[in-house]
Copies of this chain bind each other. A is one copy, B any other.
């Protein structure tokens, strides 16, 4: 745990803070598709992502989903932070897109570290900023782009997060993430394939052009 923590966080956190995190943090391995945070959960702490990829989705009352953004190593879930600090409920669902490793930090420390470590304050503020910006990008996509552009962005973004040039996914799964229907996705994918941007296989999409 310390090893990976130092690998990805030594440029972010002071040594003393890393020591504290090792002491109080709880290491956890998530298997693919495991739910880390669910709608309405009260967070008793926040997760630091050491390895892997986490999908953050929003759900409406009818159970329909829309992807907000992905987290990758070095990220934390700002929504959890919010929920943990204010004892409120989380408005999102976080699912491991692939096997992932996290460190769970108890909420008691969150404010304490704000006083003790400048690097922690910076990290928290930075995390919020990154998340606000991701949300703005999501809003941009929804407001300004058509389905085909959104789809292509989805594919390239996800490939980047997953550190793969091929995605193992079905058309239906993409449709869920983008809150549309499988038929629409299938047709647009075929179109992107004809444009030479991707190559389609069963359960797999190769991205040829980034």
Contacts and interface: CB of A to CB of B under 8 A. Distances in A.
Interface in A23-62: 58, 60, 62
Interface string A77-105: 01101100110100110000000000000
A-side interface mostly: helix
Contacts of A138: 139
A139 B132 CA distance: 12
Given A128-B128, A144-B64, A144-B179, A91 B133 contact: yes
Size class of the A contact interface (CB-based, 8 Å): 35 or more
Among A86, A124, A135, max chain B CB count under 10 A is at: A135
Among A66, A111, A131, A132, max chain B CB count under 10 A is at: A132
B86 A144 contact: no
B60 A140 contact: yes
Nearest to A110: B125
Nearest to A129: B82
B129 A66 contact: no
A83 to B, nearest CB: 8
A184 interface: no
A84 to B, nearest CB: 10
Nearest to A126: B86
